[in-house]
């Protein structure tokens, strides 16, 4: 069905939601609203009334102004030039807009998501007379020093025999391949953001996404292709935790979505990331990063679009065979945008005013994560980590509860821990990971057969401490049996030496699995010696006063820590032998 180019007329304006009449449109068509041609999207059709959500401020537009239908869905441009870019929620490059008009973006301004004038060096990986299929990789572009951008046949193409393929310098619009079927393709492709990109098969994730954060890698790991939620109240460290994950996770591509975050927090990300060094390559971290900045003062409708924009970019790199980590900070702001749009549409509200379809929208988003075999035959993954900002830290509110029904990893941030300056402020008693059974084999084979046993022992000690603390608060620690006094001290060591991590220290900000294993073993060794000494009658006061214990924190902040660790083991062994003598 052809979409008529005849413009419609604005009938009603209610914030970011406007109604037009006389417009021939389909659901999710992109339209231009008013004399300033503000970008909007059709979200409801009610008879002759076309309901549109506008991605910019509607202040000043009036009924009677024209509405033009483009006939296209909201889509992103995919091709070389995505990496290092900073976009708003609808893939307008902010750096290009700044050059056009300074720090304040005027309404109605547009800019393509990719640079259509820059030339890229294209190298084919298929030859003439080769049969190609949808999604197949046909060539490569060295996009940054860190990442090779793989050019693919669009998934919605038909494929066929290669009649002509070029090598050399081309813009993203230049035709690089022609098929015998008559189809021809440039390096760039467009994809509607609300439609998941297809793949051959989704696999069970069985490799951890290593983050360098001890409490995450050691106790509550997420798998590559997995989903995780970080709920927590204001000031508990959601944004800092997600930034740490973006900096240090071993994903090859990072997509960071600042969805409705405060401007000063996004400013930190935008200024800090270009200065960071990628620990794997030594190049700038931005060379494998895409930032989407949609702050809380930006139009509410674009906040919803930013999440879909980010996940579509992530899927595109997944199809090349890369492991992608997507950080959404925060999905609560996205849900608030849906709530506002719902009220403007006068829909029946669900719990706490959120739309009744909140759960299905969250599911649609998180279900686009996964470890898949792409159409090109590669294995790629998208890991989705969403922050949730429940009002007052109430985890029973709808966004948190609906998210927990979907994700498999729960990192519960605790305001009490952050007030005690324990960071990351992740509550080890409330958090969990449902990927442990799938990841046990990896830790056994790649790290150590002891890893899973030590992790289980750590969790037992922390659970035991929680039970003992109730008694301590009533009668004091001196009233505990001697064995339990040692358990309390070992749990404190686990908390302070292992779970606490300084994100601003150049060494402690990242901790490898080998170092984590050494910390596991060091604490377990102390505990075994302490319990053995207590069993032969050594008082807990003497056990807890050994000097080697006070030197253990040095390991966290020492780059070449092995000599320090050896010294601690030697001193600890000597001191315990002296106690038992």
What one-character-per-residue DSSP string does 11-60 give? Answer: EEEETTEEEEES----TTEEEEETTTTEEEEEEEEETTEEEEEESS--TT
Q: Which CATH class is domain 448-580?
A: mainly alpha
Write the CATH number of the domain with boundaries 8-73: 2.40.30.20
Q: Which CATH class is domain 201-437?
A: alpha beta
How far is Cα 97 from Cα 109, in angstroms, rounded to an integer?
8
How far is Cα 314 from Cα 326, in angstroms, rounded to an integer?
7
What one-character-per-residue DSSP string does 62-118 give? Answer: -TT-EEEEEEEE-EEEESTT-TT-EE-TTS-BHHHHHHHHTTSPPTT----SS-SS-
Lowest mean pLDDT among 26-30, 293-297, 550-554, 573-577: 293-297
Tokens encoding 480: 């505990």
pLDDT digits (tens, 9 = 90+) for 424-465: 999 999 999 999 999 999 999 999 999 999 999 999 999 999
pLDDT digits (tens, 9 = 90+) for 480-490: 888 899 999 99
Tokens encoding 570: 């030697």
Say if residues 279 and 248 touch (Cβ distance below 8 Å). Answer: yes
How far is Cα 355 from Cα 396, in angstroms, rounded to an integer?
17
Confidence grade of residue 4 (pLDDT, cut at 50, 70, 90):
low
Q: Are strands 227-231 and 409-410 parallel, antiparallel or unpaired?
A: parallel
Q: What is the pLDDT of residue 2?
A: 43
The interaxial angle of helices 513-535 and 451-475, nearest 10 deg, is 50
Which range has highest mean pLDDT (204-208, 347-351, 420-424, 503-507)?
204-208
Confidence grade of residue 3 (pLDDT, cut at 50, 70, 90):
very low
Quote the longest CA-to-CA distance of the chain. Answer: 96
Q: N- to C-terminal Cα distance for the chain?
A: 92
Contacts of 281 (CB under 8 A, 6+ apart): 145, 146, 287
Q: Pick 115-187's CATH classification: 2.40.50.100, 1.10.10.10, 2.40.30.10, 3.90.230.10.
A: 2.40.50.100
Q: What is the pLDDT of residue 261?
A: 75
Q: Is 265 exposed, middle or buried (0-12, 13-18, 19+ CB in 10 A)?
A: middle
How far is Cα 76 from Cα 423, in angstroms, rounded to an integer?
37
Instruction: Please check the confidence at residue 563 and state whether its pLDDT lies above 80.
Output: yes
Q: What percent of the chain has pLDDT over 70?
A: 99
pLDDT digits (tens, 9 = 90+) for 266-312: 777 777 777 777 777 788 888 999 999 887 777 777 888 899 999 99
Q: What is the pLDDT of residue 281?
A: 79
Mean of per-residue pLDDT scores for the chain = 91
Q: What is the pLDDT of residue 1?
A: 39
For 235-257, what is the mean pLDDT?
88
Measured in degrees and rounded to the nearest 5, phi and psi for residue 418 equal -65, -35
pLDDT digits (tens, 9 = 90+) for 370-418: 999 999 999 999 999 999 988 878 899 999 999 999 999 999 999 899 9
pLDDT digits (tens, 9 = 90+) for 45-83: 999 999 999 988 888 999 999 999 999 999 999 999 999
Instruction: Please check the confidence at residue 138 and state whether its pLDDT lies above 90.
Output: yes
What residue ranges do the domains of the chain occupy?
8-73, 115-187, 201-437, 448-580
From residue 332, give the alpha-carbon distance in Å to each of 165, 229, 304, 322, 341.
47, 11, 11, 28, 14
pLDDT digits (tens, 9 = 90+) for 168-199: 999 999 999 999 989 999 999 999 999 999 99
């Amino acid at each position: 069905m052809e979409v008529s180019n005849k413009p419609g007329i604005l009938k009603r304006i209610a914030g970011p939601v406007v109604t037009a009449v006389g417009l021939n449109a389909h659901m999710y068509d992109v339209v231009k609203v008013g004399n300033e041609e503000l970008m909007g999207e059709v979200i409801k059709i009610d008879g002759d009334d076309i309901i549109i959500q506008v991605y910019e401020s509607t202040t000043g537009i009036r009924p009677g102004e024209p509405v033009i239908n483009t006939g296209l869905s909201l889509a992103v441009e995919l091709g070389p030039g995505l990496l290092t870019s900073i976009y708003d929620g609808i893939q307008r490059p902010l750096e290009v807009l700044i050059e056009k008009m300074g720090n304040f973006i005027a309404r109605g301004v547009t800019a393509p998501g990719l640079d259509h004038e820059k030339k890229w060096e294209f190298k084919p990986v298929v030859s003439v007379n080769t049969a190609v299929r949808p999604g197949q990789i046909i060539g490569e572009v060295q996009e940054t020093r860190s990442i090779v951008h793989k050019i693919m046949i669009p998934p919605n193409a038909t494929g066929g025999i290669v009649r002509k393929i070029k090598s050399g310098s081309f813009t993203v619009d230049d035709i690089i391949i022609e098929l015998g079927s008559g189809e021809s393709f440039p390096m760039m492709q467009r994809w509607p953001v609300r439609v998941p990109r297809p793949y051959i098969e989704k696999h069970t994730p069985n490799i951890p996404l290593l983050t360098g954060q001890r409490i995450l890698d050691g106790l509550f790991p997420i798998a590559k292709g997995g989903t995780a939620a970080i709920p927590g109240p204001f000031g508990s460290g959601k944004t800092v935790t997600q930034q740490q994950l973006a900096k240090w996770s071993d994903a090859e591509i990072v997509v960071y979505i600042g969805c409705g975050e405060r401007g000063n927090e996004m400013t930190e990300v935008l200024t800090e990331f270009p200065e960071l060094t990628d620990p794997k390559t030594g190049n700038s971290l931005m060379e494998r990063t895409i930032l989407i900045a949609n702050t809380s003062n930006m139009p509410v409708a674009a906040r919803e679009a930013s999440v879909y924009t980010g996940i579509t970019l992530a899927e595109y790199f997944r199809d090349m065979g890369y492991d992608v980590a997507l950080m959404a900070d925060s999905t609560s702001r996205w849900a608030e945008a849906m709530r506002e749009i719902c009220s403007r549409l006068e829909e029946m509200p669900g719990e706490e005013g959120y739309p009744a379809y909140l759960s299905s929208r969250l599911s649609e988003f998180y279900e686009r994560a996964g470890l898949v075999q792409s159409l090109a035959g590669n294995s790629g993954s998208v890991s989705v980590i969403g922050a949730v900002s429940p009002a007052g830290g109430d985890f029973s509110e709808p966004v948190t509860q609906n998210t927990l029904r979907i994700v498999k990893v729960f990192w519960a941030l605790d305001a009490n821990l952050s007030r005690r300056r324990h960071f990351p402020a992740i509550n080890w008693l409330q958090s969990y990971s449902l990927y442990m059974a799938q990841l046990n084999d990896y830790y056994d084979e790649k790290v150590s057969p002891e890893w899973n046993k030590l992790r289980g022992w750590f969790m037992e000690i922390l659970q035991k401490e929680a039970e003992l603390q109730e008694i301590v608060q009533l009668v004091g620690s001196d009233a505990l049996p001697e064995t339990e006094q040692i358990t309390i001290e070992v749990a404190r060591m686990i908390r302070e030496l292992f779970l606490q991590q300084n994100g601003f220290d150049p060494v402690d900000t990242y901790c490898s699995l080998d170092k984590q294993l050494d910390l596991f073993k060091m604490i377990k060794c102390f505990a075994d010696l302490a319990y053995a000494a207590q069993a032969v009658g050594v008082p807990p006061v003497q056990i807890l006063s050994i000097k080697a214990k006070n030197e253990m924190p040095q390991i966290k902040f020492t780059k070449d820590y092995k000599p320090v660790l050896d010294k601690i083991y030697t001193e600890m062994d000597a001191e315990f032998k002296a106690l038992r003598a």
